[in-house]
């Protein structure tokens, strides 16, 4: 087994989840992630936890949309409810390993219904220990336009699994992000400018969260929840978004009083608009994130990595994270990335804190 896979499993069990004796952890993955599942299963056993492995063949998700009945989209599976429910002491562990392009022909209305019905369970899950990662497969490598070997190197570098002490590397990043958050504590207004972009919003009274690998792996971001009715202006996103197997490209959004009033895309525009019509909260911002993982410098069409790219920001339409003080509720949480590395600027209370993707020393020292 690749020692980097073992390092990743060890980091997840010990650092991400802090697994303790008799805690229950459900490991969800497809069969493509078998090496990581095996390594994680062993690390959880070493910690004295109870691992529950739930592996499905690639394509199982697509079969739900092909053959599922109404209750499969409008209700939560009793099995999932039991796993996440209060009777289980433990949390859940999810490994991304399936073909990211397996759902492009699925009815977007069914996808919206499933997202809406599963949201309450996801909210319950977020209150437990949880973590999410990706196992490098041929399908993800193809999306990233990389060979499998190069993609493996990319994934293990981004998760610090190629270092002698990955946990220390994550702890060091956390300290840097703590310093950033300390400078943002009293912030009130955010202004994002760049090619095709001039967008303002309020974060007055909201808290920033330090995401340093304890949930998303990899991580490397600080994030908050914008005031729900504050976004004004427009933004053009630089990268396509892959949502439930569909690629939406050339996205441009116009906001008035916090709500999207105009949404266009050069690819899959109808899908974009139908997602924004899912519920009243889907057309408002739920998250503002600042990417800080400078080991991730290329876009791979997988949001788990892309939103952490050092020198980018991302804005999520839909549900807020309540720990930020955000109040927006929705079945949707859809991250979209703005690249500030070429002509972009992030301003806090009228002062530039980041230009061309790099934090300004003058702001940190001010």
Evaluate if residue 91 carries a pLDDT over 70: no
Q: What is the pLDDT of residues 284-323, one digit of tens each?
A: 999 999 999 999 999 998 889 999 999 999 999 999 999 9
How many CA atoms, within 13 angstroms, populate the side-chain half-sphere of residue 313?
28
List Cβ neighbours of 122 (8 Å cut-off, separation of 6 or more): none
Nearest residue to 232 (alpha-carbon basis) of 197, 256, 216: 256
DSSP 217-284: SS--EEEE---TT--EEEEE-SS-EEETTEEEBS-EEEEETTEEEEEE-SBSHHHHHHHHTSSGGGGB
User: Partners of 256 in the beta sheet?
Assistant: 259
For 252-260, what is the mean pLDDT? 98
| Calpha distance 222→345 (Å, rounded) | 17
Evaluate if residue 121 carries a pLDDT over 60: yes
The phi, psi pair for 362, rounded to 5°, reads: -60, -35
Tokens of 88: 């289980």
Task: With H, G, I as helix, E, B as strand and everything else as coil, classify residue 55.
Answer: strand
Q: What is the pLDDT of residues 146-193, one digit of tens each?
A: 999 999 999 999 999 999 999 999 999 999 999 999 999 889 999 999
Among the ranges given (5-9, 244-248, 335-339, 362-366), the one the predictor scored with the smallest mean pLDDT = 362-366
List Cβ neighbours of 117 (8 Å cut-off, separation of 6 or more): 73, 74, 75, 76, 331
Q: What is the pLDDT of residues 264-278, one digit of tens each?
A: 999 999 999 999 998
Q: How confident is the model at residue 111 (pLDDT cuts 50, 70, 90)?
A: confident
Task: With H, G, I as helix, E, B as strand and everything else as coil, classify residue 43.
Answer: helix
- pLDDT number for residue 45: 96
The phi, psi pair for 28, rounded to 5°, reads: -105, 125
Tokens of 98: 């399936």
Tokens of 155: 């994934």
Evaluate if residue 88 carries a pLDDT over 70: no
Cis omega (within 30 of 0) for bond into 287: no
DSSP 330-365: -S-EEEEEEE-TTT-EEEETTEEEEETTEE-HHHHH
Yes or no: say if 15 and 214 are a contact pair by the CB < 8 Å rule.
Answer: yes
Q: How confident is the model at residue 87 (pLDDT cuts 50, 70, 90)?
A: very low
Q: How confident is the model at residue 112 (pLDDT cuts 50, 70, 90)?
A: confident
Average pLDDT across the chain, whole number: 88
Q: Percentage of the chain with pLDDT > 70?
A: 90
CB atoms within 10 A of CB 202: 18
* Residue 282: C-alpha distances to residues 126, 209, 230 (Å): 19, 22, 15
For 31-43, what is the mean pLDDT? 93
Evaluate if residue 100 carries a pLDDT over 50: no
Domains of the chain from N-terminus onward: 3-162 (3.40.1830.10), 168-365 (no CATH)
Q: How confident is the model at residue 126 (pLDDT cuts 50, 70, 90)?
A: low
What is the sign, positive or negative, of the torsion defined by CA atoms of 320, 223, 240, 302? Answer: negative
What is the sign, positive or negative, of the torsion defined by CA atoms of 316, 317, 320, 321? Answer: negative
What is the sign, positive or negative, of the torsion defined by CA atoms of 167, 316, 345, 324? Answer: negative
Q: How confident is the model at residue 55 (pLDDT cuts 50, 70, 90)?
A: confident
């Amino acid at each position: 087994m690749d020692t980097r896979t073992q390092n990743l499993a060890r980091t997840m069990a010990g650092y991400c989840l802090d697994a303790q004796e008799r805690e229950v952890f459900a490991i969800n993955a497809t069969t493509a992630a078998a090496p990581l599942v095996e390594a994680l299963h062993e690390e959880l056993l070493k910690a004295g936890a109870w691992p529950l492995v739930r592996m499905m063949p690639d394509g199982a998700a697509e079969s739900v949309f092909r053959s599922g009945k109404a209750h499969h989209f409008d209700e939560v599976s009793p099995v999932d409810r039991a796993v996440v429910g209060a009777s289980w002491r433990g949390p859940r562990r999810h490994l991304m390993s399936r073909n990211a392009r397996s759902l492009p022909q699925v009815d977007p209305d069914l996808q919206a219904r499933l997202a809406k019905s599963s949201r309450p369970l996801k909210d319950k899950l977020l209150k437990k220990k949880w973590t999410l990662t990706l196992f490098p497969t041929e399908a993800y490598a193809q999306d990233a336009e990389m060979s499998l070997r190069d993609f493996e190197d990319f994934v293990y570098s981004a998760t610090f699994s190629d270092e002698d002490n990955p946990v220390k590397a994550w702890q060091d990043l956390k300290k840097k992000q703590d310093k950033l958050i300390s400078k943002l504590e009293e912030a009130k207004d955010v202004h994002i400018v760049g090619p095709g972009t001039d967008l303002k919003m309020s974060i007055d009274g909201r808290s920033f969260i330090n995401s340093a690998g304890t949930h998303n792996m990899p991580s490397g971001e600080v994030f908050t929840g914008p005031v729900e009715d504050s976004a004004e202006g427009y933004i053009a996103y630089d990268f396509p978004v892959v949502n439930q197997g569909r690629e939406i490209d050339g996205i441009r959004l116009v906001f008035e009083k916090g709500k999207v009033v105009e949404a266009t895309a050069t690819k899959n525009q109808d899908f974009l608009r139908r997602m924004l019509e899912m519920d009243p909260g889907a057309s408002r911002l739920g998250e503002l994130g600042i990417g800080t993982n400078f080991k991730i410098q290329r876009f791979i069409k997988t949001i788990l990595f892309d939103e952490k790219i050092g020198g980018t920001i991302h804005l999520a339409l839909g549900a807020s994270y309540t720990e930020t003080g955000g109040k927006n509720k929705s079945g949707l949480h859809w991250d979209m990335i703005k690249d500030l590395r070429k002509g972009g600027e992030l301003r806090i209370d009228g002062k530039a804190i980041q230009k061309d993707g790099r934090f300004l020393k003058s702001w940190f020292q001010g």
